[in-house]
Amino acid sequence: MFAQKGVELVQELERARDFLPPFNEDGVRQVLEEMRALFEENQRDASSAVAGESEYITSVHIRHCALERNKRCLMAYLYNRLERIKEHRWHFGSVLPSDIKANICEPEAQFFIKYSKSLAAYMKSIGEGSYSLDLTQNLKPPKNLYIQVKCTTEFGEFETEDGDIVVLKKNSLHLLPRVQCELLIAQGILEHVS
């Protein structure tokens, strides 16, 4: 059956909804091969059709439909992968985790770098003066700008962006701006308390 491989590709992507599956190079190649075969046959039949044998026209038509369908499947596959890669940029920032990196192919990696660049350039352009707005922060409106954190290690002094000094002593509780805590929470120095 025509165009089965293409549909399989799309299905494969659809099944892995919440992660990016490895780029299926083999599948893509098979689809392209099928398309080439179809095209060559079509060209042969088309030339004979031009010569006057009108019975080939129907089969040319069917092959052409199959070609179109294959093209659509391939486009859908590639486009949706790019959409996911864009999503990852917003999620993980400009450096992708290694497990995701392993699953993308070279042109996709280049797309990612270019996308990162233009996003960064855009973020720099908004905001006034030397400030730039980090659009990737707070994708949803936060309930509170401040969160309550508990310090789990003796960290010592920590200076916030607005110049306040906070002494992060073990077992002390603090209410701090969310943005500034995130890194420390990721490092395990602070703990979020509800």
Partner 1 sequence: MFLSDLKREFYDVILGKRVLIFVNFDVDAIASCRILQYLLLCDSISYSIVPVQSQNDLISAYKESCEQSNHIILINCGGTLDIVETLEPSEEKIFYIADSHRPYDVCNIYNDGQVCILGKVNEKEDIPTYEDIFGNDDDDDEDEGSNPSDGEANGDDDDEEEVRESKSKRQKLDPAEMVMRRREKRLWHEKRKEILFNYMQFSFYSSSTALLMFELAWKLSRDSNDLLWWAIIGVNEQQLLGKVESKTSVLDNGKLQSHMIRLAHLSQHGGESTGTKDALYITHEKDLNLSMYRHWSLLESLKYSPQTASHFQLWTLKGEKKLNEFLAELGLPLSQCRQKFNSMDIELRNDLRAIFQKKVEKYDLEDLVEYSFNSQYGFRPKNSASDYVYALIALLDSAEKDKDPADAFHDALECLSNSKMDAVYKGIELAKLQQMAIGKEVHTCLDMGHVISAGPCLYAVIQDGTPDAKYYGYPHSLLMLGQFLLKAHISRARGRGLRARELPLIISAPSASRPSHCLLLGLPPLSLDSPKNLIGKAFEQAAENTQTEITSVFFDSSVIEINSECRTNFLDSLFSLLE
Listed ranges 4-12, 55-63, 128-136, 141-149: which one lies at the site for partner 1 (CB under 8 A): 141-149
Kind and range of the H or E run holding 174: strand 173-177
Which of 170, 183, 187, 192 is the binder for partner 1 (CB under 8 A)? Answer: 170
**What is the residue whose two structure tokens read 């960290």?**
155
- Local structure of 20: helix, strand or coil: coil
Angle value at C-alpha 76, between 70 and 79, nearest 5 degrees: 135
110 contacts partner 1 (rule: CB under 8 A): no
Question: Rounded to whole angstroms, how far apart are CA atoms 20 and 69?
Answer: 24
Question: Rounded to whole angstroms, how far apart are CA atoms 17 and 5?
Answer: 19
193 contacts partner 1 (rule: CB under 8 A): yes
Give min distance, CB of 188 to partner 1, in A: 17
Listed ranges 19-27, 49-57, 110-118, 140-148: which one lies at the site for partner 1 (CB under 8 A): 140-148
**With contact defined as beta carbons under 8 Å apart, do 158 and 165 qualify?**
yes
Q: Of the two residues 117 and 150, which places its CB atom closer to partner 1 in the complex?
A: 150
188 contacts partner 1 (rule: CB under 8 A): no
Structure tokens at 119: 């996003």
Structure tokens at 9: 């590709």
Q: Of the two residues 72 and 169, which places its CB atom closer to partner 1 in the complex?
A: 169
Which of 71, 119, 177, 179 is the binder for partner 1 (CB under 8 A)? Answer: 177
153 contacts partner 1 (rule: CB under 8 A): no
Q: Which residues would be at the binding site for partner 1 (CB under 8 A)?
A: 144-146, 148, 150, 157, 164-167, 169-177, 193-194
